[in-house]
A and B are shown apart, each in its own frame.
Chain A
Amino acid sequence: MDLNDTPELAEYRTVVRAWLEEHAAEAPDPRADDDDAVAARRAWQRRLAEARYAAVTWPAEYGGAGLGPLQQVVVNQEIGRAGVPGIFDIIGVGMLGPTLIAHGSEDQKQRHLGPMLTADEVWCQLFSEPAAGSDLAGIQTRAKRQEDGSWRLSGQKVWTTNAQHAAFGLLLARTNFDVPKHKGLTMFVIPMDAEGITVRPLRQISGEAHFNEVFLDDVRLEPGSEVGAVDDGWAVGMTTLMFERVTIGLGGEGFGWRADRFAEALLPDDACTRDAETRHRFGEIATDFLALRFTGYRMLTSLQRGQIPGAEGALAKVTTIRAAIAAGDLICDVLGPDGLSDERFGELVSDMPGLKSAGGTEEILRNMVGERVLGLPPEPRLDKGIPFSELRAKEKAAV
């Protein structure tokens, strides 16, 4: 057990800290989120990218620092310490870029990774659909190959963060309806300004619109837009989801959901800090957040040893959401009705019910962990080995 930096890591931390101290004045306000703020945060990402702090683990040839997960954590910690925002396009740089590095063609990497890193081109992830979330392989967006090798796409995507800002998206579509559902999918790069794309914001409980719906009406894609092999999109998508787990698993405290922050919220009214029930609830919530911090260090140790992060990371997500829900409830109970309108805590109350389903619902994550970690048998399935084109009829017949 050693949480201290090695001499090399301590030196790296010193350099990062010095850079951040020198440039902190250029950083935008992390809380603002109007259009000007987005432009400012993209400009800040460019500054981080130029210093090679935007994508620490990307290979140097694609603009990263070519370093390990520990250095990435050091950068995250120092950014948090400096009180400045991190990169704007977490989804692109954290999840989609690594997917392109793993599965994309050399042309795709050369064309896209640079502008993604500098936030000149923001990216979005177009996987989920209204009728396919937990069961992602059930997507119905159709991509049909044309005689000249180009593609025509039609369908609808949903829960698309940053679609309104994005230049490109990574999109999963069905290219073969006559094979079982996991086998007929292909991953594509799609320019978001293509003709036939409509982006519509989805407002949530808080009134904010963090997500969009994206409609695709006979959108044409150039030949060579596919990422990885045709009909092999499921494997490509799994890579993205693995990076998503790492990003979430190591980034929970980045949202500011930390035991010490919630403790501060109890201070203004001294009676709160003496009330037995409040203390008991807070003690339990804080314990969950502490457990998450040290589970993160355990995951990081595995990553550093070259182990692929397993399904256990899913449990960290379950704990994160549950503890954040409980924390929002507690702080708003303490603050009273005004708390619900508070920027920090009211949004926690309003956003959490939806976030419970983001990145896999709690139920689907528990299934995954139960089957892959505990080795429990899966529920019987009606879709095993059935061509996708026959699935609907079979599902209806089973009701």
Chain B
Amino acid sequence: MNFALSDEQEFLKEAARGALSRVPTVEAARGALDGGDLPDLWPVAVEAGWPGLLVADAQGGAELGPLEAMLVFEELGRVLASVPLLGHLPATALLAGDDRVVPLAAGDARAAFVPAKPPTDLDAAWTTEPLLGLTRAPAPTYADGTVSGRVAWVPDAPGADALVVVLEDGRAAYVKSAAVEEASVYDVTRSLGHVTFDATPATLLETTPEDAAAAWYLAQSLIAAEAVGAIDVALATSVAYAKERHTFGRAIGSYQAVKHELVEILRGLDNARSLMYYAGWAAVDKPDEFPLAASAFRLAAGKAFDHAARAQISVHGGIGATWEHDAPLYFRRAQLHRRLLGGTAGAADRVAGELITAARAA
């Protein structure tokens, strides 16, 4: 038994951190709030081999696993890097073995995963994000070589060269182009679009509903891994400040009220990290548990990120809530995070559903 990262996995993280350190992503994120341009990180991703991370060696990929992808996302999350991999990687996973994945692996083209939430123990339908409200929408339908339907809040859809769409019955289709309306976003570093298919020409993929479900849980794991990196930064920034800021003659970090709040960030981070390893391990070694593992990871990371983003602001006092500080950028990310891809509440429901189903079967 060994439940730690391997030397190669540690190296992958270090290399990712090194590559990202050459671009001032956080400053760019602040500038983008005022309408500035975000740096194009795709060349960085291509040089590092991230677009083909999950693709087989024979098709030009690195043939690494979901855990390695999560480790890269942890590093992306640390620095609020805007790279359209959340849409791209699950799409490449569904195109495994398909020739169309070759240019995607090389980074010559970019795909976006148009997700649908797999059925639960209470709801047999594949559903997509509601544009507004709580009622989930039906996933797109397929008929006679075309796809129809509307999917809101699709990560990285704007500008994608291809879309991999999960359908109402858990099959998946490849779409070359569709109408994408760029969604106005609270977190400018996260690209989102509302996609409309109107009898749009499409090719069915030879994938099973299990494959489509695995892609959904991969997306859950990746967005959760981003949160892990962001929490780590929020904690380090807050701890450093708590050591140097003094009130009433002593560092604020010496007060229990502040100290305990910072330890609460660490507790959430540590729990999320353990579940990240669980999700990474289950994805490969225990696929039956991947829905449970990925959903638990999403929930733990989402809750911990929400708390960390708020605690960071509190520890810094008023300045933490202004654009003078990075804290609001992480806060915006956390707020959008908890509401995307089924949301953290959806992940909690999934954890419950998976365990109730297992208990019934036992």
B120 CB → nearest A CB, Å: 10
Q: Which applies to chain A's interface (DSSP): helix, strand, loop or mixed?
A: helix
Q: Is A319 an interface residue (CB 8 A)?
A: yes
Q: Is A279 an interface residue (CB 8 A)?
A: yes
B43-98 with Cβ < 8 A to chain A: 67
A230 CB → nearest B CB, Å: 34
Q: Is A232 an interface residue (CB 8 A)?
A: no
- A298 engages B4 (CB within 8 Å): yes
- Name the contact of A279 in the complex, choosing from B1, B267, B292, B348 (C-beta under 8 A): B348
- B259 engages A282 (CB within 8 Å): no
User: Of B256, B259, B299, B362, which is in contact with the most chain A CB atoms at under 10 Å from its CB?
Assistant: B259
A238-279 with Cβ < 8 A to chain B: 259-260, 263-264, 266-267, 273-274, 276, 278-279
Q: Could you name 25 residue pairs across A and B whose Cβ atoms are closer than 8 Å?
A: A2-B2, A2-B281, A4-B1, A70-B1, A263-B352, A279-B353, A280-B348, A282-B355, A282-B356, A283-B295, A283-B350, A284-B348, A287-B300, A290-B278, A290-B292, A292-B274, A294-B3, A298-B3, A301-B4, A366-B263, A367-B260, A369-B263, A371-B259, A376-B243, A376-B262
The 7 closest A-B pairs by CB, nearest first: A283-B348, A291-B271, A297-B3, A370-B259, A263-B359, A279-B352, A376-B253
- A379 engages B281 (CB within 8 Å): no
User: Of B255, B262, B274, which is in contact with the most chain A CB atoms at under 10 Å from its CB?
Assistant: B274
- A377 engages B243 (CB within 8 Å): yes
- A376 engages B242 (CB within 8 Å): yes
Q: Is A397 an interface residue (CB 8 A)?
A: no
- A312 engages B270 (CB within 8 Å): yes
A259 CA / B296 CA spacing, docked (Å): 11
A375 CA / B244 CA spacing, docked (Å): 12
A283 CA / B355 CA spacing, docked (Å): 9
Q: Which applies to chain B's interface (DSSP): helix, strand, loop or mixed?
A: helix
Count how many chain A residues have C-beta atoms less than 8 Å from C-beta atoms of the other chain.
56
A380 CB → nearest B CB, Å: 7
Q: Is A306 an interface residue (CB 8 A)?
A: no
- A294 engages B254 (CB within 8 Å): no
Q: What chain A residues lie within 8 Å of B295 (beta carbons)?
A: 283
A366 CA / B256 CA spacing, docked (Å): 8
Q: Is B349 an interface residue (CB 8 A)?
A: yes
Q: Is B266 an interface residue (CB 8 A)?
A: yes
- A264 engages B362 (CB within 8 Å): yes
Give A356-373 as 1s and 0s: 1 = Cβ < 8 Å from B's Cβ atoms.
000000010011011101
- A363 engages B349 (CB within 8 Å): no
- A286 engages B362 (CB within 8 Å): no
Binding site for A on B (CB under 8 A): 1-5, 67, 121-122, 235, 239, 242-243, 250-251, 253-256, 259-260, 262-264, 266-267, 270-272, 274-275, 277-278, 280-281, 284-285, 292-293, 295-296, 299-300, 303, 345, 347-353, 355-356, 358-360, 362
Known: A319-B267, A370-B263. Is A1-B2 also a contact (CB below 8 A)?
yes
Q: Is A288 an interface residue (CB 8 A)?
A: yes
- Chain B's closest residue to A368 (CB) is B263
Known: A300-B3, A374-B239, A377-B253. Is A287-B299 also a contact (CB below 8 A)?
yes
Q: What chain A residues lie within 8 Å of B270 (beta carbons)?
A: 295, 312, 315
Known: A279-B349, A287-B275. Is A1-B259 also a contact (CB below 8 A)?
no
A121 CB → nearest B CB, Å: 34
- Chain B's closest residue to A299 (CB) is B3
Q: What chain B residues lie within 8 Å of A297 (beta carbons)?
A: 1, 3, 274, 277
Q: What chain A residues lie within 8 Å of B122 (beta carbons)?
A: 274
Q: What chain A residues lie within 8 Å of B347 (beta carbons)?
A: 283
- Name the contact of A273 in the complex, choosing from B254, B356, B358 (C-beta under 8 A): B356
